[in-house]
A and B are shown apart, each in its own frame.
Chain A
Amino acid sequence: MSNKWKIILVFLFLIASIILPLLYTRIITLTEGLPEKIFTYRFHRAIYTVLAGVVLAASGCILQATLRNPLVDHYVLGTGSGALFAVYTTLLLLEHVTLWVISLAAAIGGLSALAITVLIAESISGGDVAYVLSGIGVTSLFSGLSVLLLYYVASKYGYASLMLTGTFIHSRPENLPYILLAVILVLVGYVLLAKRLNVIMLGDDHAAQLGVNPNLTRLSASIIAGVSASIIVSQFGVIGFLGLVTPHIARFILKTSDNRLVVPLAMALGSTLLFTTDTLSRSIMTKIIGEVPAGAVISAIGAPFFLILLIRRFRGVIS
């Protein structure tokens, strides 16, 4: 297939993956004759799952390319748990908190955790597995602290406990500006960085002689990926492995590592996967065991995928 057709199909899929879920939600509420209030709730929930999928997948692509590391996403690198810890701390310390303050705190917490992971990983060996190990350590630290804080926070904010695994149950219209901000961030990141990230994947010296500053690119890419994922965490909690899995599926389908195509396809896959998971969890699982957070379902699918990648990575080394 020619490159032009690949570009057209990928962007058509991306547009469809955003519009169709919203259309589906409208049709379902109309056919079931549900009241407008329920439609508003479900419509917002659909928008958030779709856009959160877009943001987390893009963030995963950017982090994997910029760190030349196929084993990471915002969750593995500790950004998710760092952001969540910052959210809980803010909820605990401040009497009246707005969503702006929570988002800002999450961004600071997420970036700090990312910085700690990178510093530790670079001091070990800088290899891809060093990042995973360092990320697991940082994730464990902030997850543990978050659970400790949760005992106090949950008494004030009931939904706080749901954020540990990531859920869209408490979707409200007020979340929209923050989600849109995260989407704008990754879109700007995509346009400015996709070509540069391609070059960065080939090594720092190679990138520098082509006119791409590796340190500046890595810094801006990490900030964009870290802040956008942290904003999602601040609104809906930690949704792990989505950003790890979707870039790999996109690369497998496209048979290329080109971020100009991989990022939009991963976005489309992310939104489709998260919307489907959340809808199934809301509609089917509720009837059987009650509503399971979408983040938990995604983790259950994503974690084995991560383990398979890890095994392939080590088999590659051994052979």
Chain B
Amino acid sequence: MISARNVTVTYRRNNIVALRDVNIEVPSETVTCILGPNASGKTTLLKTIAQLLNYSGVVEINGRDAKSIIRELRRILSYSSTIEEQDLLGVTVLDVLVYSRYPVSRGFFTSEDDIKRVYEIAEKLGLKGLLSRRLSELSAGELQRVVLAAALVKDPRILLLDEPDSHLDVYSKIWLSNFLREISSQVTIVLSTHDPIFASITCDYFIVLSRGEVVFTGSRGELLKNTGILESVYNVSFTSISLGELHILLPLNQSIHRDKLVKLGEQSHRDISYNSSNTRGDH
């Protein structure tokens, strides 16, 4: 379990308060999503949990102060955002995965164990054919998968993913969603995203941030019933659609008439249900 109590982060350079008095509890072995518009503090919150920023307050990992277990944390926690790509330095996919085992790798040179684990992860993520490629030769989607593999290669128990779905096409997003749900029985995952549809099909628990403050924490069911929270944060209408077991959060453009949407759903699916606490943009 990850918890934060009275966490405040102030960027010294411009004196901006990026997180203000944040109190959250992230349940273990679930996929938790941090939602919020640009500059709401999503990345800052992830980096704070990962102990990459100075903060006031307390972050606890499994009941222990994160600051006191920093060495252990580097082995059991992965924070993943982007990987710098400098073509002329010749960094290959294999290099990235081998280097990313740094905290768990023993000895000076790469061991057989390192190589074995790297190949297993590469196989799992469909990267085996790309191992000798340079990062600059990859598509944006392939690079995103390498970033995920780099986070997984040290076998973390906590996985913090900053916008793992950016640059992904629809197929890859669904693949990623399924993959994260599959591994969430062994790993606690916290991710941030700008895509409410991806969030709602992937995540069980939600934290909504607005201007550095937590405005909502709760399960997917609770958020789907309370889409007004997202409305006030994003200034966009939201609705939720349930298709069998699939629950989807949908941002609405004002020109889309909800009645039409419901009718469209009814035609294709008998058991469609529609829920929104907000009616702005509706007629």
Contacts and interface: CB of A to CB of B under 8 A. Distances in A.
A154 to B, nearest CB: 39
A219 B257 CA distance: 59
A260 B154 CA distance: 20
Contacts of B132: 255
Interface residues of B, number: 37
A211 B50 CA distance: 11
Interface string A191-212: 1001100110111011011111
A210 B83 CA distance: 13
Given A195-B102, A195-B108, A203-B83, A209 B77 contact: yes
Contacts of A256: 90, 92, 94-95
B84 A202 contact: yes
Contacts of B90: 251-252, 255-257
Contacts of A255: 90, 92, 132
Most A CB atoms within 10 A — which of B75, B77, B91, B115?
A: B91
B89 A202 contact: no
Contacts of A260: 108-110
A291 interface: no
B88 A202 contact: no
A191 B99 contact: no
Interface string B90-130: 11101110111011000011100001000000000000000
B91 A202 contact: yes
A203 B95 contact: no
Interface string B119-158: 0000000000000100010000000000000100010000
B89 A257 contact: yes
Interface in A192-247: 194-195, 198-199, 201-203, 205-206, 208-212
B52 A209 contact: yes
Contacts of A212: 102
Given A211-B103, A316-B87, A205 B81 contact: yes
B100 A210 contact: yes
B103 A210 contact: yes
B178 interface: no
B115 A64 contact: no
B88 A199 contact: no
B99 A205 contact: no
A20 interface: no
Contacts, number: 103
A209 B79 CA distance: 6
Most B CB atoms within 10 A — which of A195, A201, A209, A210?
A: A209
B83 A202 contact: yes
B283 interface: no
Interface string B164-190: 000000000000000000000000000
Contacts of A209: 50, 52, 74, 77-80
B219 interface: no
A252 B87 CA distance: 12
Interface residues of A, number: 36
A156 interface: no
A313 interface: yes
Contact of A3 (B75, B79, B99, B109): B109
Given A195-B108, A206-B83, A255-B132, A313 B102 contact: no
A203 B82 contact: yes
A58 B276 CA distance: 63
A50 interface: no
B86 interface: yes
Contacts of A107: none
Contacts of B100: 199, 202, 206, 210
Contact of A68 (B52, B89, B109): B89
Interface of B: 47, 50, 52, 71, 74-75, 77-84, 86-92, 94-96, 98-100, 102-103, 108-110, 115, 132, 136, 150, 154
Interface of A: 3, 7, 64-65, 68-71, 128, 191, 194-195, 198-199, 201-203, 205-206, 208-212, 248, 251-252, 255-258, 260, 309, 312-313, 316
14 contacts: A68-B84, A70-B88, A198-B98, A202-B100, A205-B79, A206-B80, A206-B83, A209-B77, A251-B90, A255-B92, A256-B90, A257-B89, A257-B95, A258-B110
